[in-house]
Each structure stands twice: as structure tokens, then as C-alpha cells.
Structure 1
């Protein structure tokens, strides 16, 4: 691998001790697992790789991925857990039991004040087709590809109000400096 990363103040060369480190997943807290799992499986085609329940602490973790041809997911739960925690780009949905029964309950989406967490992102092969798919599935748009100061970038919301950026890689070549 010859690419060494873009260099800016504060960037350090990776230490040998970090060899093998990889970003495995991003976690979002969800109110209602049935609604969230419906959204991510139906709208984004994700599959649940593993569910882990922690009864004493009253929460469940759902690890989702957009599997591709050739992915060989073990059937055995223990082996599948190991496989899951060795992957890249997973989404962990965390459900604290009982939140689904609280009418006024909502998580902070990170984009309201005070801002913090911003969004997750999916790349798609055809942004126009994705927008049509979102319309057909009544997905709430924050921004369409022809709106705002950044064309060719879409933002939608999931059922918990989290923002999801959607891009087509080929349309990103001329963005930024």
C-alpha cells in the first residue's frame, strides 16, 4: 500500500502497534427495534448478522450489514459473533428495553442543538434511483440531490430521526478542494 494518507497538522504516522486495527461498527440507539429493523432491512437492504441480549442490563444489540455476493457468514452463532466483530462498516442498533412503550421518548439525533454526532452514510450505485426508491418507501428527506449548496448529496432520516447521507461515489470526484 503506497498511499500514506493526506497530511495535516496533528496527523501522525500509524504506529506498528495499530496494525490490524479496523473500524468495526457505528452504534445508534433506537426506540423500537421492530420499526428500526424494518427501516434498515426494507429501505437499505441490510441484514441482521447477530443479536445479543443482555438481560441483567436490559438491552439488546443488533448488528446489521449490507452483505455482498461472496460474503460467507457462519451459521454457528459463536463463529458468527467472531466473524461479525472482524468486519468493517457494520451498524449496531442498541435497544434499551422499555423505550418502545414510552410515547414521548426520543433520542437526540446529534443535529439539533447542541450539535454533536452528525450522520451515517451509504454509497449507492445510482443516486437518482435511490431517491425514487426512498420516495416509493415514504422515507423522510432532509435534503434532495438537487437542493442546497452541495448538489449530488442526499440526506434522509431514519425512524429515530437520525440523519443518513446518501452518495453516489462517481458524483463525488469534484467535491471539495
Structure 2
């Protein structure tokens, strides 16, 4: 029998047929300076900007980024690309509220200081040691290196707005959470 789900209190035993086809498409982070954030996510994490949407009547812009697989084809037609973007998994939406970049004291809550809430986004990498070297070469600030803390083989860095980004190599985590 194929794996369905781990069972914990609160989990339903089966998937409601009405939810088949539902998929988590994107997570959104508010950013102070889109140019700085776009440079960070494209340069350091290899993400590509799929679509930018402006809402001048509401004074904000949305930037949808993805780490594309080699050879992955993204539609050139802007309407088809919009449809395609909203049908994917693992999209990062950066939301820029216009004017925040001009306010030197403006900061978003990162979710990890009190009161805690949002925690982090995560990138899995094929080689954690090489990724740490890459991040160091780009002077990305570390919250936790893979050899620090109670959970080894996992790193945390921060983006330009202070949001935490977990970095992990899946092959190193096979025994995670088991005594």
C-alpha cells in the first residue's frame, strides 16, 4: 500500500474529494526594497522573476519568483505565464508596499522575535557544505550554521529584510526526529 499520511491528532484519515487538486502555490513576504530583495534572491538563490504585477490604485507591487529546473520552459506570453505561475508549487511572492524603501526606520517583523509567529522559508540544496561556502562568499548573515545548535546539518540565514531562510540537504536528514 502506498503512503498516505502520518497520523496525529487532528489529521483526517482521508482527503475530502472536494479538495483534490488543491495545491500550495506560493508564500508571501513583504519587502522594504524590492531591488535589494530581487538582487538577493536571484543572485544568492538562483531564483527567476516569473511575473511582476503592479496595483497603482493600492500602492503596491507583487513579484513572483521561482527556482526553475534546468530546461524548464516558462511561457513567454504574459497571460499564459500568469496562469502558469499561479499553477506551480514553491513560488515566492515578494510584496512591496510603495514608499517603504524611502523610510530609513521602516522594518517588517521577521516572525522570529517576540511575539513569534511566522518562522522561515526553506531551500533544500544538493550539497550543504558547498551551499554554506556559497553563502559565505556572498556575505549572507547566518543565524545558525550546520554544526551549531541542537539540530545539526541545518543552517539558517537571513535575507535583506531579516526573514529567516533554512538551508538543508535532504540526504543528511534521514534520521531527523528519531531518538
**TM-score of the superposition, structure 1-length normalised?**
0.98
Q: How does 1:117-128 map to 2 (within 5 A)?
A: 117-128=118-129
Deviation at 1:2, TM superposition (A): 2.1
Deviation at 1:69, TM superposition (A): 2.1
Deviation at 1:70, TM superposition (A): 3.5
- Aligned partner of 2:41 in structure 1 is 40
Q: How does 1:96-175 map to 2 (within 5 A)?
A: 96-175=97-176
Which runs of 5 or more structure 2 residues have no equivalent in the other structure? none
Deviation at 1:14, TM superposition (A): 1.1
Number of aligned pairs?
177
Once the two structures are superposed, residues 93-117 of structure 1 have per-residue CA deviations (whole angstroms, 9 ceiling, x without a partner) of: 0000000000000000000000000
Q: After the TM superposition, which segments of 4 or more aligned residues of structure 1 sit over 6 Å from their partners?
A: none
Rounded Cα–Cα distance in structure 2 between residues aligned with 1:175 and 1:2:
22
Correspondence 1:59 to 2:47 = no
Rounded Cα–Cα distance in structure 2 between residues aligned with 1:132 and 1:107:
28
Correspondence 1:14 to 2:15 = yes
Which runs of 5 or more structure 1 residues have no equivalent in the other structure? none
